[in-house]
Every structure is written in structure tokens, then in C-alpha cells.
Structure 1
Amino acid sequence: MTSTKTISRRQALKGSLALPLAAGMGSLTTGTGPASATGRTSSLVAYFTRTGNTRLIATQIARAQGATLFQIVPRDPYPEDYEEQVAQAEDERRRAYLPPLRGTVPDFDGFDTVYLGFPIWGTTAPSVIRSFLRAHDMSGKRLAPFVTHGGYGLGSSLAVVAEQAPGARLADAFSKECDQERETLREVTQWLDGTAR
């Protein structure tokens, strides 16, 4: 009798998500969909993640849209310990501190659409998102936020995005209370279908 090992959907997704990170944090990875004649896509998926939930959505968007993927990474990493990270995030927000980034997007002007992903921290966008938006001129670009949260909703995050990217054309945001990957992927696909116009 032959034994077969079953790989869970979670294990398969984790394995596939590691691939874009091989290029290194803060670097660009191009999706597998259609690109321009120059080999460059006109869409960028920029995301910040702590636990990987936002990365899951970012990777799906990049794959579905043939977009370039960029992970937003602070120059100085946030603490691994959750309580320390929460305390640092609250301190940054209170002081209106903009943490320096490890890198910015090269040739950012060439992108027409930016999908911007982040988790909710303390009912708003993390300070590193403010840093990213300040470092990149969103004027005239279509900006589509996608947000993960633990059940408390979007808070003031969309107001932060609108304030930091005043010249952008804001698309409806996608938000997801993180639970099962399968449900997340299904809902992201529906959202992408609606933003294709």
C-alpha cells in the first residue's frame, strides 16, 4: 500500500509566496501577466506586511494584473515582539514620525496604477505607509488601497491615504478581516474584476 502526503492549501500558498521574496526586500518583482512593449507593466503593487496576510493579497493582485510587486520595508525593522511593535507604532503615530524606508520604487513615474496594501495598526495606516506616500508622487495615478485588519475595520486609514496622496485618483478600497486564505483569494478576485474598468 502506497502512502501519499497531502499538502494543505496553507502550505502550498506559503511556498508560492516565498518566491517573490527571493529577489530581496524592497526590490521589484514583475508579475506573470501582460507587460508593456518595453517589458515593464503599468501597474505596481506596493505593500507592507507584518504577518504575511497583506503579502498574500499583494501576490495575487500582481499575478492577476501582471503587475510589478514591491515590498515596503522600513530601514530599521519593527520589533518581532508584538507588544513592542504596537508600542513603537503608537509612539510613531503620536510623534507624527515618518520612518525611513530601505528603498523606493525606481522609475515610479512609469506606473499608471498603484495598488497599495497594508495592515491596520491602531485603527489607522502604519507610519511606514505615510513614508512611502511622501516618497512617491501619486499625482494623476490611480491609487487602489487594499487593507487587512483584525476585525475593527478601516479606521482612519483611507483618510491618511487621501491626505498623503492628494493628487491621486482614489479607487474603492478592498478590505479584509483576515481569516482563511481561500475566502481571501475569492474576494480579492471579485474586487479586481470590479476595478478593471
Structure 2
Amino acid sequence: MKNSKKINRRNALFQLYGAALGFGVGTSLVAQADPLPVNKRSSSTLVAYLSRSGNTRVIAETLARQMSADLFEIRTVEPYPDDYQAHVLRARQQQETGELPALSGDFPGLDGYHSVVLAFPIWGRDMPAPVRSFLADWDMGNKTLFPCITHGGYGPGHSLETLGQLVPDAQIKPAFIKQCDSERDTISLLADWTATVMPS
């Protein structure tokens, strides 16, 4: 965040996020340079998140600071491809096969947490496989769950239905849903642009 324009834009977005989540108008949601320590058990609330491009990470870190919550990033043992199209292909294959990828990280478990904010992007119009793995690994039955969903233009897809099926005993609160920059749209626009300015 070396660019002051980016900082100002993010701060403005954080104010909107705070209003949507019910924080007071005067609440300060300022991005900080250093993330909260991962796996620090110091709160009854956990923010668990998955992020590919960083949009969901910004939201998760902001919520963790605002709520004085612990923060945990959901990661897979086998990383996803950096290339967007390859990433989409692998995510689609996991959805079609129902694969639950193994997760990495030293997660201490959910004992002691009463509330869980689950932040994730939409992959293929549904919940990503790593988030399904996280929910399969840990019992959410007696937790209050706050879904926080980012998407690239197609909305939450089937993710809320999937969430209800995976954690039927959890108390699921209304979701915060935010459209973020779409890599797919950017790639499409780039293809159109190169076809125009660089004709074959």
C-alpha cells in the first residue's frame, strides 16, 4: 500500500463494508500494513478466509481487526496454479468430482470459538473446494456462522445452499456479499483489445 490513492480507495471501501455489516458510521476501518498473527487464540470469534487474488483477504483482515477476532487463512497442501485459466480448470475438476483437497497450516481447532466469520470467493458459481474441506474438518454445529462472500459478477451462486447443507446445525446469519474485480472479465477485455490493436 505504498500508493496513497490505493489507501484512500481501500479506506472508503472499508467504510462501506462496515456500514453493511452493522458497524457504526463513525467506526474506523483503516487498513494496516501488518496482518494479524495467524493461529493466535485470543478471541471467541474466528475469521477464516480463502483468497486467490487478495480481495477476500483485505475484507477478512479488516473484519478481524474490527471485531478483535483471530484470523486464519485456509490454504491447501498442494498450491493452486498461478495461471488463472489453469486455476479455473482445476477448481472446476474439484467441483465435478467432489474432491476435498487437504489443507495446510497449524489450525488449533474451533474449541472456544462461539462465532466464525467464513470469508471466501465464488469459484464456478459455488463454494470453493478448500472451504468445503475446512467445513468437513471442523464441527460447526454449535457455532454462529457469518458468511462473507466475494464474487466476480455472478453473485453468490449456489454457495449459500451448499453452506446450509454442509453445516445444517450451525446458526447461519445473513451473508455479506460483495462483487470484486473479475479476472475473467479482464481477460476477456484484454482479448478484445489485442484483437483490435494487434490484428493477425
Q: What is the TM-score when the length of structure 2 is the normalising length? A: 0.74
Is the Cα–Cα contact under 8 Å of residues 20 and 29 in structure 1 kept in the other structure?
Answer: no
Provide the rounded CA distance (Å) in 2 between the counterparts of 1:75 and 1:93: 18
Alpha-carbon shift at residue 108 of structure 1 (Å): 1.2
Alpha-carbon shift at residue 18 of structure 1 (Å): 5.4
The correspondence of residues 1-197 of structure 1 with structure 2, limited to 5 A, is 7-10=4-7, 16=31, 19-20=34-35, 23=37, 27-29=38-40, 40-103=42-105, 105-178=107-180
Provide the rounded CA distance (Å) in 1 between the counterparts of 2:95 and 2:109: 29
Q: 1:17 to 1:161 in 2, by over 3 A?
A: farther
Rg larger for: 2
Output one character per residue of 1:10-35: Cα deviation in whole Å (capped at 9) or x when no partner.
4996xx565227x5xxx3247xxxxx
Alpha-carbon shift at residue 105 of structure 1 (Å): 2.8
Aligned residues, how many? 162
Is the Cα–Cα contact under 8 Å of residues 47 and 70 in structure 2 kept in the other structure?
Answer: yes
Identity of aligned residues (%): 43
Other structure's SS at 2:105 match: coil
Letter of the aligned partner of 2:39 in structure 1? L
Alpha-carbon shift at residue 107 of structure 1 (Å): 3.9
Is the Cα–Cα contact under 8 Å of residues 75 and 100 in structure 1 kept in the other structure?
Answer: yes
Other structure's SS at 1:97 match: coil
Letter of the aligned partner of 1:9 in structure 2? K
Output one character per residue of 1:149-180: Cα deviation in whole Å (capped at 9) or x when no partner.
0110000001111111122100000000015x
Is the Cα–Cα contact under 8 Å of residues 109 and 138 in structure 2 kept in the other structure?
Answer: no
Unpaired stretches in structure 2, ≥5 consecutive residues: 11-30, 182-200
Output one character per residue of 1:72-104: Cα deviation in whole Å (capped at 9) or x when no partner.
001111000000000000000011000000035
Provide the rounded CA distance (Å) in 2 between the counterparts of 1:107 and 1:119: 22
Is the Cα–Cα contact under 8 Å of residues 118 and 147 in structure 2 kept in the other structure?
Answer: yes
Letter of the aligned partner of 1:111 in structure 2? Y
Other structure's SS at 2:123 match: coil
Is the Cα–Cα contact under 8 Å of residues 17 and 56 in structure 1 kept in the other structure?
Answer: no
Structure 2 counterpart of 1:33: none
Other structure's SS at 1:94 match: helix
